Chains A and B, each alone.
Chain A
Amino acid sequence: MSKVSVANDPRDRGGAGTPLLDVRGLVKHFGGKGGLFGRSGSVVRAVDGIDFSVAKGETLGIVGESGCGKSTTARLVMQIIKPDAGDILFDGEAVGSAALDLKAFRRQVQMVFQDSYASLNPRLTVEDTVAFGPRIHGASTAASIAKAHDLLHSVGLEPRRFAGRYPHEISGGQRQRVNIARALSLDPRLLILDEAVSALDKSVEAQVLNLLLDLKRDFGLTYMFITHDLNVVRFMSDRIMVMYLGKVVEVGPSEPIFEKPGHPYTAALLSSMPSVDPDNLTEEAPLTGDPPNPINPPSGCRFHPRCRMASTLCSHAEPELAEASPQHLAACHLVGPQSGHPRLAAA
């Protein structure tokens, strides 16, 4: 397999300094106005104005609890659902513009879903599933089958044994390898992994994570890695973005986020991880109650009703992302030096 690296990718347009993916002001609300007989009801603010970028060759981990908008973000980037507002730039070009139409964009961005079974057509063999992409993009039958076999080999499935099988005949881990091979069949530059290992058993999960790291190196890929598992995201990611109720609350390189989180929500998330040390069990839950519903989110900082540090300021002024340490931003009044949060004055 010829090695592609991010640096010498012939498809590179903007150069190393241009992020591969640049998302600005992305908004998606669900509900509100319905169809012909739709009711105008409550609006779910699934993604409510987020900006982020993914540099070439890096892995951006996105974490957050249910309802934080991480999967919606993936679907918006993938153009599976249309955003209400916001721009998505891929390698410097706006998606859908004359320079980068949808079809060209989709060749370069692919996605792996959480449910390995639902994301495979039960009527197609493994080989037909992987060959589908090249086929519809004009490769001959023989060429696309050959490509499928190459990819199956790359994801650790011996083509002779697996090419003719159906999804229900192979294990969950093997199915997810097929899904990865399918996603790679169009030679994408960006791979979005939406909880791609969450449904796997732990021993299989480790195999697939290793595989993903190998593939990233061998195919010169960039990852957007979405998960709720903090251990996994730390292992996989160069940078991490934490979402809460449709907003980005913290983003930055993995190490500072794990060592010295800037946002109280990130800190709570980290200390909610079960301990693996029998002599150091968790004594007190860092948060009470469930994550609130993204319908009618709280005013001000969306985290303030659950936050121990909250002051009256937090309930009416929404904090902006501010620098907590170099390249590390957090949206908390405790981070911005001039926010007027009472605890800042005390410190």
Chain B
Amino acid sequence: MNSTLPPIVEARDLTVDFAAGRGMIRAVRGVDLSLKPAETLALLGESGSGKSVTLRALMRLHPKSAKIGGTIQVDDADVLALAPSALRAYRGKTVSMIFQDPSLAFDPVYRIGDQIAETVMRHEGASRAEGRKRALELFERVRIPSPERRLDNFPHEMSGGMRQRAMIALALACRPKVLLADEPTTALDATVQIQVLLLLRELQREFGLAIVFVTHDIGVAVEIADRIAVMYAGCIVESGTCRDVIRNPSHPYTRGLLSSRAHGTLGKDERLKAIPGSPPDLSAPPPGCAFGPRCEHFIDSCAADIPPNVPVDSLHSARCFRIGSSPPPHPRRARHGSNA
């Protein structure tokens, strides 16, 4: 990572609200993030944490009814102020996106090679032959076997892993600077997932891509990311380098996630250290720390205010009142094994 480069993606105090019935769903509640070229940031969180909503906001993919607040700068463009024509150029050329479900990216009735060529033609004014040539290069690059033949496939004629590779090829067609990845490996089998992760890692190095990678899987985040930002209830609760966050988790939620993982074998009567409860309802988020009601280190101030972002280390910070004060008291874990 070149730490002297200016960031290519910078979001400040990003908020996204959706109208829902009579109320408002506050899906993202003040997210700051910044990403340098050739850096991978993993947004790690559970469903409803706001990780995908944040990602979509970077691409301005939200319906008109959504209210986006704050600022987003990507490659010197003020994303939230882009005019429609500039936005079309921005999508695909500066930033492109890959999804969990490739059917969002491909039209089922056109051949995949034509769709990639089309994208190149539209964005770069290239000829069809040039577009096809680029498509073939990309197919070779993402290591699709017998690429010439595969260019003429329809999306349904490919297996899941191959479709995912083809989607990556499509996303890279116009050589974007930033790639947004929304759980692209979640639906894949384990042996295929690792191949796609390694491919992305390789492409990132080769093209100097900045990647924002949304996932719910800690292992996937560790494999792909330089930095991890842990999201909970619309906020980034902890961020830092991959090593800092995994080795020295500082927010109680991150610690809970790491220690609740099933790994290895446990004795007959051992239980996982599960985080009790469930995430808050975002139409009425609690006033203070959103994790407070589930937290074993809860103190009164947690219910009063949203905790500030407290630095743990130079590049590592967490939103928790208990950081820096006295070391957290000895965890008084709930006795999960006890039963009625």
Contacts and interface: CB of A to CB of B under 8 A. Distances in A.
B223 A290 contact: no
Given A231-B263, A255-B265, A281 B194 contact: no
B94 interface: no
B61 interface: no
Contacts of B25: none
Interface in A268-302: 268-269, 272-279, 281-282, 284-291, 293
A290 B159 contact: yes
Nearest to B158: A290
A278 to B, nearest CB: 4
Nearest to B225: A278
Contacts of B337: 210, 214
Given A284-B198, A285-B194, A203 B46 contact: yes
Interface string A191-228: 00000000001111111011001100110000000001
B223 A272 contact: no
A209 B262 contact: yes
Contact of B190 (A273, A277, A281): A273
A171 interface: yes
Interface in B310-340: 336-337, 339-340
A297 to B, nearest CB: 15
Given A218-B339, A286-B194, A202 B261 contact: yes
Interface stretch (B11-19, B128-136, B273-281): B273-281
Contacts of A278: 222, 242-243, 246-247
Contact of A276 (B159, B191, B246, B266): B246
A274 B189 contact: no
B190 A203 contact: no
A72 interface: no
A206 B260 contact: yes
Nearest to B246: A278
Interface of B: prevailing SS = loop
Contacts of B276: 207
A288 B242 contact: no
Given A201-B47, A274-B197, A285-B191, A231 B261 contact: yes
B160 A281 contact: no
A230 interface: yes
B162 interface: yes
B256 interface: yes
Contacts of B257: 202-203
B278 A290 contact: no
B340 A153 contact: yes
A206 B337 CA distance: 12
B86 interface: no
A203 B260 contact: yes
Given A203-B256, A231-B262, A268 B274 contact: no
A236 B271 CA distance: 10
A232 interface: yes
Contact of A209 (B223, B256, B263, B272): B272
B195 A288 contact: yes
B203 to A, nearest CB: 14
Can you list the 5 inter-chain pairs with the closest CB atoms, starting with the nearest?
A274-B219, A206-B274, A235-B262, A201-B46, A65-B189
Interface of A: 1, 65-66, 153-154, 171-174, 201-207, 209-210, 213-214, 217-218, 228-232, 234-236, 254-255, 258, 268-269, 272-279, 281-282, 284-291, 293
Given A172-B47, A291-B189, 11 more contacts: A66-B189, A153-B340, A202-B218, A204-B46, A206-B274, A207-B274, A228-B189, A272-B193, A272-B194, A275-B223, A285-B194
